[in-house]
């Protein structure tokens, strides 16, 4: 399998997007030439077309950039469009199942942008920018903020539940907000409700089951995982699934990525500081045994996994780690392979 790797380029040796290819000897190798972009920190692929969308995480005026790439006949990714995201530090992308919408999350502005896509995957003229600044002021006046990084709204990620609803994680307000997407007659998204997490938790990313019925959120600041539910009567409920840190480990850490492994009834989380990936069981019987942790490279900001492999972007060690999994889902550390990539922060499988 081939991968595109997003990187941080400002004040690093990285040049943009790198491609890791599977070679004839079975070993992954990184190409030396990069697709030149500034801080391409998150990537996502169109569900049906040979299109990729990249956000360039820029925190200074004029702000973030969204880039569209299309696969050409030679098998190379060529830039086709570049537009402003109308915000600072875009850090996450999501695409609707029908390929009609892109959602871009802005950490520094505390806002998210919805962009419409046409049938060819091109970025169209439809756009809706929604700020959480007012939400933050209401939460602050009610509960205060417990963490120094919660002095403003910080929209960190958005996820499409289906073709009509969007989840938005806000680290600054300790909320996960549920919105309906704009209809033709609507001028904006419409709030349907919100899950409130404990003050100081800092919801960052979410993992959804294939049917969209199971929602798990990792809280970056409190290093916890929460399960969100929508009851039949419309009530939104939250359940704390416990810590996502390695058992018995002490010290500073901030959780990063989360992945739902439905086949193994568990979620996986990466931790920066206590550099590790942790498997958290979801069934009551398995939870009594506690979390299972593995050490990994420094600052695992993002990872991707399937039934056969775990791929970790270890930013501060400048490597992408490939760790095979056995039939029970455990990691085979003795077969781990490292590929050098400068400041990797996002992994996108291409096949």
pLDDT in tens, 49-100: 999 999 999 999 999 999 999 999 998 999 999 999 999 999 999 999 999 9
Q: What band does 207 get if pLDDT is binned at 50, 70 and 90?
A: very high
Per-residue pLDDT reduced to its tens digit, 11-52: 999 999 999 998 767 788 898 789 999 999 999 999 999 999
Quick check: 68 and 52 in contact, CB under 8 A?
Answer: yes
Q: What is the mean pLDDT of the chain?
A: 93
Per-residue pLDDT reduced to its tens digit, 140-197: 888 777 789 999 999 999 999 999 999 999 999 999 999 999 887 667 899 999 999 9
Q: Is 239 exposed, middle or buried (0-12, 13-18, 19+ CB in 10 A)?
A: exposed
Closest CA to 195 of 157, 236, 139: 236
Q: Cα separation of 25 and 97, whole Å?
A: 36
Q: What band does 218 get if pLDDT is binned at 50, 70 and 90?
A: very high
Residue reference for tokens 């004029």: 62
């Amino acid at each position: 399998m081939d991968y595109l790797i997003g990187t941080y380029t400002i004040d690093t040796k990285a040049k943009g997007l790198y491609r890791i290819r599977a070679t004839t000897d079975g070993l992954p190798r990184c190409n030396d030439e990069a697709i030149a972009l500034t801080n391409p920190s998150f990537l996502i692929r169109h569900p049906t077309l040979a299109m990729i969308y990249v956000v360039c995480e820029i925190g200074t005026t004029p702000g973030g950039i969204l880039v569209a790439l299309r696969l050409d006949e030679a098998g190379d990714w060529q830039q086709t469009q570049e537009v402003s995201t109308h915000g600072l530090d875009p850090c996450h992308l999501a695409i609707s199942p029908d390929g009609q919408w892109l959602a871009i999350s802005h950490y520094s502005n505390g806002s998210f942008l919805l962009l419409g896509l046409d049938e060819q995957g091109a970025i169209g003229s439809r756009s809706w920018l929604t700020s959480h600044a007012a939400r933050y002021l209401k939460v602050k006046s009610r509960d205060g903020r417990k963490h120094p990084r919660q002095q403003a709204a910080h929209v960190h990620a958005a996820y499409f539940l289906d073709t009509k609803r969007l989840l938005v994680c806000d680290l600054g307000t300790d909320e996960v907000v549920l919105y309906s997407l704009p209809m033709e007659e609507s001028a904006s998204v419409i709030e349907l409700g919100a899950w409130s997490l404990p003050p100081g938790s800092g919801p960052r990313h979410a993992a959804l089951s294939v049917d969209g019925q199971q929602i798990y959120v990792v809280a970056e600041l409190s290093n916890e995982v929460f399960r969100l539910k929508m009851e039949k009567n419309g009530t939104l409920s939250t359940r704390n699934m416990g810590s996502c840190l390695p058992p018995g480990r002490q010290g500073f850490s901030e959780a990063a990525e989360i992945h739902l492994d439905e086949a193994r009834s568990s979620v996986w989380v990466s931790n920066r500081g206590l550099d590790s990936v942790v498997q958290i069981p979801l069934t009551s019987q398995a939870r009594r045994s506690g979390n299972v942790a593995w050490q990994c490279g420094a600052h695992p900001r993002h990872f991707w996994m399937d039934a056969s492999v775990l791929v970790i972007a270890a930013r501060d060690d400048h490597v992408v780690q490939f760790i095979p999994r056995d039939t029970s889902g455990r990691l085979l550390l003795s077969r781990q392979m490292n590929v050098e990539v400068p400041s990797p922060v996002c992994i996108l499988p291409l096949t």
